[in-house]
Structure 1
Amino acid sequence: MPIDVTVLRVFTDPDGNHGNPLGVVDASTVDPADRQRIATQLGYSETIFIDLPASGANTAQARIFTPAVELPFAGHPTVGASWWLRDRGAPVHTLRVPAGIVQVTYLDDMAAISARAEWAPDFAIYDIASVDELLAADPDDYSDDINHYLWTWADKERDVVRSRMFAADLGVPEDEATGAAAVRITDYLSRDLHIVQGKGSHIHTQWSPEGWVRVAGRVVDDGVKQID
């Protein structure tokens, strides 16, 4: 029987452009053994499988897969899943993922999650000299054994960062918008940020000295596709 996959674009700009595609699947419709196959077949940077909350509950459980591996935590899927649950009339306060309990909040047209900085995977972080140099970077020039996060100030006075992320080790040559990397760079710089990543996706972060980072973004629903 075909499986319904809701396709979201997470971290769009204010006009609903750009954003990182995400597959969202009701976990009850899929055998757990098929999750990696489905994520690989879809080919999105991540696909999230959600155990829907019981009526009246304020938490849900989720598992996250790239085309190559399962992740204990990722920002773009948890923001997208939080938005999707509210859109279905089942907003939550928390999402339980293997890394821990993700706090969820809703900010007008944005969904937001708060995560521990140490939940994000290690990244090789590169402070690039200029936006032009960053945009000219070639993913093929970077090794495929670790995630590579390139960033530069677009407007330091306004805390605006321009970035790109290459993750061939996860089966993602270039990630359009990466919530976990946003957590890492926000903790690294110890300040709130407005991150413009990839072709023009927008991620908003808030830093806490207690080791939590809030990641917020807009989401667009691109409809449902079916996969065998």
Structure 2
Amino acid sequence: MKTLNYTLVDVFTTKPFGGNQLAVFEETNLSPDLMQRIARELNLSETVFIRKPTDPKKEKSLRIFTPQVELPMAGHPTIGAAYVMAEKDIIDTKTGANEWIFEEGVGDVPVTVEMVDNGISKVEMEQPLPSFGDYYSERELAAELLSLSLEELDPSLPLQTVSSGVPFLYIPIQSLSAMKKINFRTDVWEKYFSGSPNTKHIFTFTTETQEPQSTVHSRMFAPAMGISEDPATGAASGPLGAYLVKHGVVPSVDSGISTIRSEQGMEMGRPSFIDITIIKEGNEITKVKIGGKSVIIGSGSLYL
């Protein structure tokens, strides 16, 4: 019998039972099929497996799975895995900024672990530069997907697909009250949205927020990943920040560095806070980072 040990961590939160749940498996060499079956067994939004890097100059390689599919990159598994490795001394850390490189499906992913005297203050990852896809013109259909009226979509902003490895269709909403009313229609999704990689993952947001320190209030729906709703979506948050800067929702600043906080998971009872940094040189976005805090909440073993 083989024993596989894992750590359970809540990501993008400072409190247990907040943020997004993640199982982090210690370094092992499993087949993709077995990793997928384990992720389906645990049935968390994502499960991450630490592996030896192919390049010895890199710290680790990560394989990331939802209950349905493997992902080329994801935010909360990257942040959570780095937090666990620092907390459990799997990778040596020092006070200050620890710069690591993880191998993921999209390539090398830079990660920074900030250490202070009393522990980890923040973990931040750099994401691939976002690519902006087509605008989505069927606004009535998008409203129907969310069980909202057309007037509850924000008319001043476009519906657009943006990707840093995983494409999401961004749908701007007028108000916080409309966000809380959303009832995702899987029948509409299956008929009109599921067939295209550019529309099958849905991200909604509004600039009205529950917490004063937040910039946007967000919700994400991804039935194609086996996720009915996600409490914190790192892979979508970098492109969200790029969307907000590109379309002037977050004003440009002289320094070229825009800071954004997305609150997510409130409707699920798992409040999450994702810090987003967008760096521009002239009119070009040159760097996208997301970060936040995590809490280890438990551990376990699987017997195979």
TM-score, reference length from structure 1:
0.90
Q: Is the 8 A contact 1:10 1:218 kept in 2?
A: yes
Alpha carbon RMSD of aligned pairs, Å?
Answer: 2.4
Instruction: Report deviation, 1:87.
Output: 0.9
| One-letter amino acid of the structure 1 residue matched with residue 128 of structure 2 | R
| One-letter amino acid of the structure 2 residue matched with residue 80 of structure 1 | G
| One-letter amino acid of the structure 2 residue matched with residue 101 of structure 1 | D
Cα distance per residue 1:176-198 (max 9 Å; x no partner): 10001101101111242111001
Aligned to 1:188: 243
The aligned runs of 1:53-132 (5 Å cut-off) are: 59-89=59-89, 90=91, 91=93, 93-108=100-115, 109-118=121-130, 119-132=164-177
**Identity between Structure 1 and Structure 2 (%):** 30
TM-score, reference length from structure 2:
0.68
The aligned runs of 1:24-39 (5 Å cut-off) are: 24-28=24-28, 30-39=30-39
Q: 1:25 to 1:128 in 2, by over 3 A?
A: same
The aligned runs of 1:1-228 (5 Å cut-off) are: 1-12=2-13, 14-16=14-16, 18-28=18-28, 30-51=30-51, 59-89=59-89, 90=91, 91=93, 93-108=100-115, 109-118=121-130, 119-140=164-185, 143-144=189-190, 145=194, 146-154=200-208, 160-190=215-245, 191-199=258-266, 200-209=271-280, 210-228=285-303
| One-letter amino acid of the structure 1 residue matched with residue 101 of structure 2 | T
Cα distance per residue 1:102-143 (max 9 Å; x no partner): 111123521111111333311111111111110111123661
2:52 and 2:292 mapped to 1: Cα distance?
A: 22
SS of corresponding position for 2:63: strand
Q: Is the 8 A contact 1:120 1:181 kept in 2?
A: no
2:17 and 2:6 mapped to 1: Cα distance?
A: 21
1:88 and 1:133 mapped to 2: Cα distance?
A: 42
Listed as ranges, the gaps of 5+ residues in structure 1 are: none
Cα distance per residue 1:20-39 (max 9 Å; x no partner): 00111124163443100001
Listed as ranges, the gaps of 5+ residues in structure 2 are: 94-98, 116-120, 131-163, 195-199, 246-257
Q: Is the 8 A contact 1:160 1:193 kept in 2?
A: yes
| One-letter amino acid of the structure 2 residue matched with residue 151 of structure 1 | F
Q: Is the 8 A contact 2:125 2:289 kept in 1?
A: yes
1:8 and 1:29 mapped to 2: Cα distance?
A: 22
Q: Is the 8 A contact 2:27 2:51 kept in 1?
A: yes
Q: 1:58 to 1:96 in 2, by over 3 A?
A: closer
| One-letter amino acid of the structure 2 residue matched with residue 204 of structure 1 | D
Instruction: Report deviation, 1:51.
Output: 1.5
2:74 and 2:172 mapped to 1: Cα distance?
A: 22
Q: Which has the higher contact order (CA 8 A, sep 6+)?
A: 1
